Amino acid sequence: MERSRSDALMERAREVIPGGVNSPVRAFKGVGGRPLFIRRGEGARIWDEDGNEYIDFVGSWGPLLLGHRHPEIVAAVEEALKDGTSFGAPTEREVELAEAIVEAVPSVEMVRLVNSGTEATMSALRLARAFTGRDLTIKFEGCYHGHVDSLLVKAGSGVATLGLPETAGVPESFAATTIALPYNCLEAVGRAFEAHRGRIAAVIVEPVAGNMGCVPPEAGFLEGLREITAREGALLIFDEVMTGFRVAYGGAQELYGIQPDLTAMGKVIGAGLPIGAYGGRKEIMQMVAPAGPVYQAGTLSGNPLAVSAGLAMLRHLKAHPEIYGRLDRMSARFASALPEGVTVNRVGSMFTLFFSEGPVKDYEAAKRSDTQRFGKYFHFLLSEGIYLPPSQFEAAFLSAAHRDEDLERLIEATLRFLGE
Ligand code: HOZ
């Protein structure tokens, strides 16, 4: 496979960008080798700088639910571009996006647009602390909520990929505000509330974990979190940066029928342009400045291009609810096609193949997967023209642009790899 341009670009990048990448997982440290530089995408396909073509199961890490360059999204961005790129002032389009989110996401009555998932979770936590007058947060091992200082404790995604025991630069006193517990373990949550009665502001959770690979909630887990937090006067925050509008139009909260107090959303609501949002009950959201005393701001918040792209995607998804069933059937087909000895976790259009017998229901189990073998699998697929996330600890994503033939190619290549 020709890759001289990607390699040359990585050489250049290393001189001016730490590690040559702008986000650690992209460096391929979890799978070995050197990253590809991507030139363009169309539908379910991407092409690298050397002209190699791949079926893309990363989809920019989740937001491209309709694939690359969907015509309705391209048209919406072009239209918005005619009016200007940024005003740092209110626009009609951002009200429309906020209305669409409030209409779609069951627990969200009011929403604030920000620029990324990290901003969304950071702001939601600040708000939860202000609302409850408490300082501590419970999070779950292997979940990743962006690079918020206090949440980089036993985090998934790049932190898990690089195997970092902790992140340098996070003051101990910040990390000490976070209690990290095993995913899917309600007993641990109950014990933590007993040990810190009246001090826990919030429980933040990926309702379907996607940052230790895909790990679904076990029956009763989310219900239990809802019940305990309500009883203890703490807020339940769903980090739906990956699952929002992806596992169902109303996100994981619609799929599982649980209403969190606050919800963080990210890249999905911008269809691949930089955006994030946090929202929830009005009485809580009214505490955000300028309505209330919790400060949070940003010049590019509600950026017209990102908002227009997101609106176009949400409108398309609303008009085509059948997309969700089709993507769910596709990931089910992948899971059922594989032999025993490996584990496929999946929810709707999110899935991960773990090289272990399973079950994989928490971070400890995810870490038992044979990551060396995952690396070999990743490179085998690349040589077959298939692009998966370059880490065992990330979910793969299907989009409406994937055809059944694309999935069959993934299945066929995976079976050949497993048979070797
Ligand atoms: N943390 C992102 C996925 N969970 C990876 C972001 C990126 O490298 O773009």
Pair 164, 220 in one domain: yes
Pair 95, 124 in one domain: yes
Which of 319, 351, 383 is a domain's end point? 319
Pair 313, 346 in one domain: no
Pair 81, 148 in one domain: yes
Residue 247 in tokens: 């596992």
Reference 389, options 408, 363, 410, 409; nearest CA is 410
Place of tokens 């908002």: 307
* Probe residue for ligand 1, chosen from 37, 57, 61 as the CB with the greatest number of ligand atoms within 8 Å: 61
Q: How far is the CA of 63 from the centre of ligand 1 (A)?
A: 11
The reply to whether ligand 1 has any atom less than 6 angstroms from the CB of 61 is yes
Pair 53, 136 in one domain: no
Q: Domains in the chain: how many in total? A: 2
Q: Does residue 18 have a cis peptide bond before it, meaning omega lies within 30 degrees of 0?
A: no
Looking at residue 167, its pLDDT comes to 85
Pair 209, 345 in one domain: no
Looking at residue 173, its pLDDT comes to 87
Q: Is it the case that residue 161 has pLDDT exceeding 90? A: no
| Residues of the chain above pLDDT 90, percent | 92
pLDDT digits 0-9 by tens, 307-337: 999 999 999 999 999 999 999 999 999 999 9
Q: How far is the CA of 283 from the centre of ligand 1 (A)?
A: 32
Residue 82 known to be catalytic: no
Looking at residue 83, its pLDDT comes to 98
Pair 202, 58 in one domain: no
Residue 239 known to be catalytic: yes
Reported as type and span, the H/E element at residue 263 is strand 262-265
In whole angstroms, what is the distance from residue 238 CA to residue 252 CA?
9
Pair 360, 272 in one domain: no
Pair 97, 199 in one domain: yes
* Nearest residue by C-alpha to atom 1 in ligand 1: 157
Looking at residue 41, its pLDDT comes to 98
Looking at residue 162, its pLDDT comes to 83
Q: How far is the CA of 313 from the centre of ligand 1 (A)?
A: 21
Pair 148, 191 in one domain: yes
Which of 277, 299, 319 is a domain's end point? 319
Q: Is it the case that residue 21 has pLDDT exceeding 80? A: yes
* Probe residue for ligand 1, chosen from 17, 22, 25, 57 as the CB with the greatest number of ligand atoms within 8 Å: 25
Of the listed 267, 328, 367, 406, which one is catalytic? Answer: 267
The reply to whether ligand 1 has any atom less than 6 angstroms from the CB of 394 is yes
pLDDT digits 0-9 by tens, 381-419: 999 999 999 999 999 999 999 999 999 999 999 999 999
Q: Do the beta carbons of residue 395 and residue 353 sit within 8 Å?
A: no
**Mean of the pLDDT values across residues 48-70?**
98
Q: Is it the case that residue 166 has pLDDT exceeding 80? A: no
Of the listed 54, 139, 144, 363, which one is catalytic? Answer: 144
Q: State the sign of the Cα–Cα–Cα–Cα dihedral 7, 8, 12, 13.
A: negative
Q: Relative to the CA of 157, which ligand 1 atom is closest?
A: 4
Reported as type and span, the H/E element at residue 205 is strand 200-205
Q: How far is the CA of 23 from the centre of ligand 1 (A)?
A: 6
Pair 266, 237 in one domain: yes
The reply to whether ligand 1 has any atom less than 6 angstroms from the CB of 137 is no
Q: What is the CATH number of the domain that holds 106?
A: 3.40.640.10
Residue 358 confidence class, pLDDT cut points 50, 70, 90:
confident
DSSP string, 23-79: SGGGG-TTT-S-PPPEEEEEBTEEEETT--EEEESSGGGTT-TT-BT-HHHHHHHHH
Residue 163 confidence class, pLDDT cut points 50, 70, 90:
confident
In whole angstroms, what is the distance from residue 403 CA to residue 396 CA?
16
* Nearest residue by C-alpha to atom 6 in ligand 1: 23
The reply to whether ligand 1 has any atom less than 6 angstroms from the CB of 49 is no
The reply to whether ligand 1 has any atom less than 6 angstroms from the CB of 25 is yes
Q: Do the beta carbons of residue 92 and residue 376 sit within 8 Å?
A: no
In whole angstroms, what is the distance from residue 156 CA to residue 150 CA?
14
Task: Tell me the residue range of the domain where 285 lies.
Answer: 71-319
**For 344, how many CA atoms within 13 A lie in the half-sphere containing its CB?**
20
Would you give the end-to-end CA distance of the chain in angstroms? 21
Which of 260, 284, 319 is a domain's end point? 319
Q: What is the CATH number of the domain that holds 355?
A: 3.90.1150.10
Pair 349, 404 in one domain: yes
Reported as type and span, the H/E element at residue 202 is strand 200-205
Q: Do the beta carbons of residue 250 and residue 104 sit within 8 Å?
A: yes
